[in-house]
Amino acid sequence: MTIPPTTRPPSELEEPPEVPTDVQLMARMQSGDRAALGGLVDRHKDRLVNYLTRITGQRDRGEELAQEAFLRLFQTAAKYREQGRLLPFLYRIATNLVRTEERRERRYRLFSITHPHGPSGETHTHAAGPARLLQQEAQREVQRALAELPLRFRAPVVLHGVEGWTYQAIATLLGCREGTVKSRIHRGHQRLRSRLQGYWKGEGQ
């Protein structure tokens, strides 16, 4: 069974099918409906993959963690209490997965987040001219700088600067005060600026 996506081409809107809301899909999933999971995945996969790619600095890892987050959502659906906050709930699962994984990595010293596995998958690889290559290089540099931030700064910086969340929404997700979120974003930006300053200056010369 396929759940229609939220947006469809105009040609398909002649007989608008009833698009289930997140609340309805969650309710169905809570009763074990796997197709409802498919619907939620289809609806939110891109933004979650994007968020996790920016957080981890690696495209493949971001996608793998996004899958894991949806799986956890399915497994913990019974515990979910509807308050119109499905997406924060999903993002919290995803952020906790990253936190757990980074702790494990730190413990076993397998590899460091300051040395992500290179730019593979980080950017789209279109055949491009020098301007495009420069842009890709700049994006890689930003991504590298982002990956060097501690998660407590990285998560709010990405949620705010990439995903466009408000301080209040981030505070709810991270379970801290709005002032803390502001402070972390401010300090995160300071670190990013100090890290990128040299590159920006070099680029301008």
Partner 1 sequence: MNRDIPTIPPSSGAEDPAVLGALASLPREQASPGFTAAVLERSRTAEKPAAELGWSRTTTLLAASLVLVTVVTAGMLERAHQKKELRGRVDALRSEHEMLEHELAELKRASAEEPAVVYLGGDENVDVVLTFDPKAVPATSSGAVAPVAASGNHGI
List residues near partner 1 by CB under 8 A. 22, 34, 37-38, 41-42, 44-50, 53-54, 59, 62-63, 66-67, 70-71, 74-76, 78-79, 84-88, 123-124, 135, 138-139, 142-143, 146, 157-158, 160-169, 182-183, 185-186, 189-190, 192-193, 196, 200
Residue number with CB closer to partner 1 (63 or 101): 63
For residue 140, give Cα distances in angstroms to 59, 96, 119, 135, 146: 12, 25, 6, 9, 10
Taking alpha carbons only, the member of 173, 196, 168 closest to residue 51 is: 173
Residue found under tokens 């705010």: 160
Q: How would DSSP label each residue in 80-149?
A: ---SS-HHHHHHHHHHHHHHHHHHHHHHHTS--TTS-STTTTTS------HHHHHHHHHHHHHHHHHHHS
Residue number with CB closer to partner 1 (54 or 106): 54
Closest approach of partner 1 to the CB of residue 109, in Å: 27
Q: DSSP character for 31?
A: T
Residue number with CB closer to partner 1 (114 or 190): 190
Residue number with CB closer to partner 1 (106 or 125): 125
Closest approach of partner 1 to the CB of residue 17, in Å: 18
Closest approach of partner 1 to the CB of residue 158, in Å: 8
The pair of three-digit structure tokens given for residue 58, joined into one six-digit string: 């690696």
Closest approach of partner 1 to the CB of residue 106, in Å: 24
Work out the number of other CB atoms within 10 angstroms of the CB of residue 6.
Answer: 13
Residue number with CB closer to partner 1 (68 or 102): 68
